[in-house]
Amino acid sequence: MKKMWGWIVGAFSVLLGLFFYERSSRKKAESINKLNKLNTDLSLIQKDIDANNKELGIEQVSIQKQKDLLEKASREKLSNEDIADFINRRK
Amino acid sequence: MKSYLTKTLLILSIAGNNAQAFDSIVLEKGQSAPFSGVLLSNETANTIRYQLIERDTFEKLNLSYERSLTLMKGNESLKDEQIKLLMDSNITLSRELTSRSGGTWERIAWFALGVLATSVAVYGTKKITN
């Protein structure tokens, strides 16, 4: 009789322990999943931002090139032939 | 009829191109002009040329600035999205932390309940087995 009660209490304790362990593991897994999803979403957005920044860099280079060309043109004094050629090419 | 029309269009287009090619020609001093038009000094022609380049450049610059502005606005909305995600996550984490931690008195109460439950279990087992 003593042995049987010992087994019952023991088994109940183990079951209780397993129940709490499972619940804790499940909550932990849920938290990890949420965190992973958040990180994925954030990295996807970051990729878009990086792509935009890359294009912005290209635009900045283009703007600088245009400014340099304008600066160069302001200093240039072309001959009559070159000016005529410029106007004819531009048409 | 179709062939005749094509030929006519071809001749007209070639003639048009030639007329355009001779719109700006170089004249030496004293040389007679082949057609009436506007004569410019080299300095004025250079100024006009610069102004044309300036206009073209401003058009391109404007386009680049417009693109940059669009990209920056895009970045702004993406950053807002990131902030919203992080804020939502922060709120969820705060709620979970609050629900898990509990107060000091609550912990003491749970501990006392545990001690009581163990005592009752031990007492009950003894009582049954005796």
Amino acid A47 reads K
Question: How many residues comprise chain A?
Answer: 91
Angle of helix A2-75 relative to helix B42-101, nearest 10 degrees? 170
Confidence of residue B103 (pLDDT cuts 50, 70, 90): low
Q: Smallest CA–CA separation between A22 and chain B, in Å?
A: 16
pLDDT of residue A13: 83
Read off the pLDDT of residues B12-55 as tens digits, 9 standing for 90 and up. Answer: 333 344 444 457 889 888 999 888 889 999 999 999 999 999 99
Q: Enter the pTM of the model.
A: 0.63
Q: For the complex shown, is ipTM > 0.95?
A: no
- Residues in chain A with CB shorter than 8 Å from the CB of B81 are 45
Question: Does residue A1 have a pLDDT over 70?
Answer: no
Minimal CA–CA distance to B85: which of A35, A50, A47?
A35
